[in-house]
Structure 1
Amino acid sequence: MRRLISSGSSFEATIGYSRAVVQDGWVFVAGTTGYDYATMTLPEGVEDQCRNALATVAQVLDQAGSSLDHVVRVTYILPDRAEFPRLWPQLSAAFGTARPAATMIEARLMEDAMRFEIEVTARVAAG
């Protein structure tokens, strides 16, 4: 069974994607930026954007019957790789239990104000 999950972002309907897809015991979470999707506001700081993105990912994983502790793969995308070390404390707190395979890519994001994006793959929690 395939289940689609939305964060309520206007981007999802406009572009035609889901925040996450749950299928065959896996949760595939789309690239998630630092927007507060309830208000569609984007904070300036990379740390605040990371915090918002992690909160969105955690919420979506919970809706899927999973959690940050069940993440097996994570990709971080930042326009400025020099900012990445500033996020390590937050990322370690979020993924320290799961210790997923991870990649950091330096690339431009959809909007110049975006400074952090994350994509994860997780297992649905057993039981």
Structure 2
Amino acid sequence: MKKIIASPLAPKAVGPYSQAVETDGALYVSGQLPIDGATGKMAEGIEAQTRQSLANLGHILAEAGYGFNNVVKTTVLLQHISDFAAMNAVYAEHFTSEMPARICFEVAALPMGALVEIDAVAAK
């Protein structure tokens, strides 16, 4: 059975999808743009945007009773692969041991002109 997860602290879904879906002990979190859920604004710069995307991810994980330590896989989408090192430095602040599997892509464009978007799969 699946359960829809929505955190009031993360930005609302802007399309026909859920912030996250939990099923059979796994949580699938949709890609998180660097939008502040309280203001609807996006920070500037890759470090600030990565930090906000991960904060949004953290809010959704917490809403479902998970933490960053439960994350088993992430996907990182970057507007510019040249931002990889700066994104990675912020990412490493949140994943400090037993790192999840990850893939990172440069993409042609992200919604709202974002520089980064991060999704995750977590398990208990």
TM-score, shorter chain, exceeding 0.5: yes
**Is 1:78 paired with 2:81?**
no
**1:96 Cα deviation after fit:** 2.1
**1:22 Cα deviation after fit:** 0.9
Moved over 4 A (4+): none
State the partner residue of 2:39: 39
Separation in 2, partners of 1:46, 1:7: 24
State the partner residue of 1:109: 110
Separation in 1, partners of 2:5, 2:46: 26
| Contact 2:71/2:123, CA 8 A, preserved across alignment | yes
Structure 1 segments unaligned to the other structure (5+ residues): none
| Contact 1:3/1:23, CA 8 A, preserved across alignment | yes
State the partner residue of 2:20: 20
Separation in 2, partners of 1:63, 1:87: 25
Separation in 2, partners of 1:39, 1:6: 17
TM-score by length of 2: 0.90
- Per-residue Cα deviation, 1:21-68 (whole angstroms, up to 9, x for no partner): 111100100000100011100011111111111111111111111110
Separation in 2, partners of 1:7, 1:41: 17
| Contact 1:20/1:27, CA 8 A, preserved across alignment | yes
TM-score by length of 1: 0.88
Q: Give the secondary structure class of the aligned counterpart of 1:48.
A: helix
Which letter maps to 2:110? L
Structure 2 segments unaligned to the other structure (5+ residues): none
